[in-house]
Structure 1
Amino acid sequence: MLTVPVRQLGETERGAVERLLDLDPFGAAQVAERVAAHGLSWWRADGRIFGYGSRRHLEALCWFGGHLTPVLATPAAVSAFAELILSEDRGCSSIVGRADAVLGLWEHLGPHWGPARDVRPYQPLLVADAPPAIPADPGVRLVRPDEVDLLFPAAVAMYTEEVGVSPLADDGGRGYRRRIADLVRARRAYVRVVGGKVIFKAELAVVTRHTAQVQGVWVAPEWRGRGLAGPAMAAVVRDALRRAAPTVSLYVNGHNDRARRVYARCGFRPAGEFATVLF
């Protein structure tokens, strides 16, 4: 039996949830953006937030929607969340967040949810709060509203390469294209175009009052190793700091030494470790 209450949280507890999210502004950014946009009403947010702790002292959170994301979850909270989640169908496509909590959840859930498609146990979480020292590529710019079709093939290539499956598989890519179009409309998608083709792309996939989280960084294969990525990322970081948030954050696969060197040149510093379990 659980000795500490675990329960689904509602809008009346939004203040307590936001205070906890503020304690981990980079690790909890994905959840914080959803709460800011939709509140805690699951039918609007397309997911639910579970809380660990008494009603007077909320200690940890767990978002359960398209992704499963623990926030400030101690081993005791991880065990309690796992016990509750095991009563649900999996539903989510990944578990992502701070590495200790994600891997702890997977230790509990793995025997019941079956094998994962991929487990990425070490993904450095990085943060920059000042413009990069290296020059920015003046050719990197925001994607215009009429350029979704230009960006989409590069986005599909990036997703397939990074995640290991095509975003076109389930619905022909309609849902993924809507997501890309939303980012373009929100002025959160960047490209470098040469000869009518995207050779670099990146998006501010998450934006909160604390941070803009970069995802989807991609360089066309034929342009890799030619010094494009550093100045291109410098342009993204500069614009994001100017327009979007006081910091820029991202997480990167630990084995991707080339990307980690680029981010270091752009002024990113370590802020912990993420892990991802993909289904």
Structure 2
Amino acid sequence: MLTVPVRLLADIDRATVERLLDLEPYAGAQVAERVEAGGLSRRRQEARVFGYGTRRQLEALCWLGANLIPVRAGPAATAAFADLIASEVRTCSSIVGDADAVMRLWDRLRPEWGDARDVRDCQPLLAADTEPAVAADPQVRLVQASEVDLLFPASVAMYTEEVGVSPVVDGDTGYRDRVRDLVCGGRAYARFIDGRVAFKAELAVITRHTAQVQGVWTAPEYRGQGLATAGMAAVVRDALRRVAPSVSLYVNDFNSTARRVYDRCGFRRVGTFATVLF
């Protein structure tokens, strides 16, 4: 029997949850966007959100859906969340969030869930709230709905290169639908050369605090030519002017090339993420 203050949250808790998420404008962005769009209903979200703390003093959150995401979860909270879900069959494809919380969760869940496919324990979390000093590529623009078929192969290549597996399995259209949604939502950027994507990036998460960039990719034949720096400068400039007061992202610590690009574009470190991939 649980003796720790963990409970399943519902729409009645939404205001309290949003106040807590406001304390983590970057690390909590993935959960904040989903709560803003669909509240805390398990039926609408296809996920459960657990809270640690009393009804008056919510201290931490744990999102459990396609991803497992702890927010503001200290040692006691991560222990409580892990104790709650360790006996369940794993259905999430990753654990992602603040590095300390993610690694504490994984230490407790691994004996029950088995080994992960990959563990990335140090991913600098970066943010920028001023326009880059470097020149932006004027040819980087929002992708049009008629160009989804041009963007899709580049998106698959990026995902496969980054994650290590293809996002397309047995003809599943889910990933194509995701790419289409980003395009139709004015979130996908690209530079096209001779009808092919040379550079791309997406605003995968948008909250009132930040636009979180994911899917940054340069075609192999154009790497080392400055396209990524100028392309990211264009993305950051447009996102700050059109979408949110800051732009954020997280990057693998070993990706020195990408980190140099983000440094040139004015990003500063605001935390550290970790990701456990299954």
Structures share fold, TM-score greater than 0.5: yes
Aligned residues, how many?
Answer: 278
Preserved CA contact (<8 Å) 2:31 2:63: yes
Aligned to 1:241: 240
Letter of the 1:53 counterpart = G
Instruction: State how 1:1-279 maps to structure 2 within 5 Å.
Output: 2-169=2-169, 171-279=170-278
In percent, how many aligned pairs have the same letter? Answer: 69
Q: How far apart, CA to CA, are the structure 2 residues paired with 1:209 and 1:3?
A: 36
Q: How far apart, CA to CA, are the structure 2 residues paired with 1:2 and 1:79?
A: 11
What SS does structure 2 have at the residue aligned with 1:121?
A: strand
Q: Which deviates more, 82-91 or 180-189? A: 82-91
Q: How far apart, CA to CA, are the structure 2 residues paired with 1:162 and 1:251?
A: 13
Q: How far 1:173 sits from its partner (Å)? A: 4.0
Q: How far apart, CA to CA, are the structure 2 residues paired with 1:85 and 1:28?
A: 20
Q: How far 1:2 sits from its partner (Å)? A: 3.9
Q: How far 1:56 sits from its partner (Å)? A: 1.7
Preserved CA contact (<8 Å) 2:6 2:53: yes
Q: How far 1:3 sits from its partner (Å)? A: 3.4
What SS does structure 2 have at the residue aligned with 1:135?
A: coil
> Unaligned 5+ residue runs, structure 1?
none
What SS does structure 2 have at the residue aligned with 1:60?
A: strand
Alignment RMSD: 0.8
Preserved CA contact (<8 Å) 2:151 2:197: yes
Letter of the 2:46 counterpart = D
Q: How far apart, CA to CA, are the structure 1 residues paired with 2:17 and 2:27?
A: 14
What SS does structure 1 have at the residue aligned with 2:52?
A: strand
Q: How far 1:12 sits from its partner (Å)? A: 0.4
Q: How far 1:249 sits from its partner (Å)? A: 0.1
Structure 1: 4+ residue segments shifted above 2 A: 1-4
Q: How far 1:226 sits from its partner (Å)? A: 1.1
Q: How far 1:188 sits from its partner (Å)? A: 0.2
Preserved CA contact (<8 Å) 2:29 2:205: yes
Q: How far apart, CA to CA, are the structure 2 residues paired with 1:179 and 1:261?
A: 29
Q: How far apart, CA to CA, are the structure 2 residues paired with 1:258 and 1:172?
A: 33
What SS does structure 2 have at the residue aligned with 1:233?
A: helix
Preserved CA contact (<8 Å) 1:210 1:246: yes
Letter of the 1:167 counterpart = P
What SS does structure 2 have at the residue aligned with 1:55?
A: coil
Letter of the 1:78 counterpart = T
What SS does structure 1 have at the residue aligned with 2:43?
A: helix
Letter of the 1:114 counterpart = G
Q: How far 1:100 sits from its partner (Å)? A: 0.2
Q: How far apart, CA to CA, are the structure 1 residues paired with 2:93 and 2:12?
A: 29
Q: Could you give the per-residue CA deviations for residues 34-59 of structure 1, whole angstroms, max 9, x where no partner exists?
A: 00000000111121100001122111
Q: How far apart, CA to CA, are the structure 1 residues paired with 2:184 and 2:224?
A: 31
Preserved CA contact (<8 Å) 2:87 2:112: no
Preserved CA contact (<8 Å) 1:4 1:54: no
Give TM-score scaled by structure 1 length. Answer: 0.98
> Unaligned 5+ residue runs, structure 2?
none
Q: How far apart, CA to CA, are the structure 1 residues paired with 2:131 and 2:111?
A: 45
